[in-house]
Amino acid sequence: MKFFALILAGLSLSITSLAQAESFAFEEGTHYVELEVPLKLRNNDKIQVAEYFSYGCPHCYDFEPLISAWKQQLGDDVEFIRTPAVWNRDYQVFAQTYVTLEAMGLLEETHLGIFNAIHEERRRLNTPQLMAEFLVGYGVPPEDFARTYNSFGVRAALQQADSAGRSYRSKGVPALVINGRYRTEGGLAGSNANMLRVADFLINKERQRLAAAE
């Protein structure tokens, strides 16, 4: 029930956030920070929004319905991705699981379920074995999960996520990184919901910068 209430709040936010962002000038150093070294992005044709998150983070769980609704109203010139945080042993399992399910094409079916299991059902999914057992309920064969989880491709993607996370220089999750140039967090924006208003502002800022460069 809590999740659906947050979805409704997120839908309301997504409708009003762009107009609010356009009418309010957020300040660098107060509501967001500019990264010292802009990141090289895999797709220069779109403005990238990266959510820095972890399945183990309760704030990320609360943020999920808001950002799920918000990302649906992003323009065609915006690409949304997630970067899982790799801070400790538990977070590494969650991050490697995320990358594994992404490689298997199973994120859509499992993403919310993992969040719910950890934060609503209080299940411990902090080992590959426990995660594999949980995912059987989603029709994921344990041997397929283990093979992909331990594959070279997943390990390389995990290293890339860890490297990106270090470059973000974020002290917490969730955080949003706009086009590899700007980072905002709940602590900077004032709240996780307000973080989306700042993100809208920064997306428009990038649109203007890119248009001026053409």
With contact defined as beta carbons under 8 Å apart, do 152 and 143 qualify? no
Euclidean distance between the first and final Cα of the chain, in Å?
48
Chain center to CA of 136: 25
Which helix H or strand E contains 141, and what residues bound it? none
Distance CA 78, CA 92 (A): 28
Parallel, antiparallel, or unpaired for β 78-84 and 47-53? Answer: parallel
Q: What is the pLDDT of residue 207?
A: 96
Q: What is the mean pLDDT of each run of 10 residues along the chain (214 residues)?
A: 50 48 76 95 91 98 97 96 97 98 98 98 98 98 98 98 96 96 96 96 96 88
Q: What does residue 183 show for φ and ψ, rounded to 5 degrees?
A: -125, 135
Distance CA 2, CA 37 (A): 39
Domains of the chain (ranges, CATH numbers): 2-213 (3.40.30.10)
Q: What is the pLDDT of residue 16?
A: 47
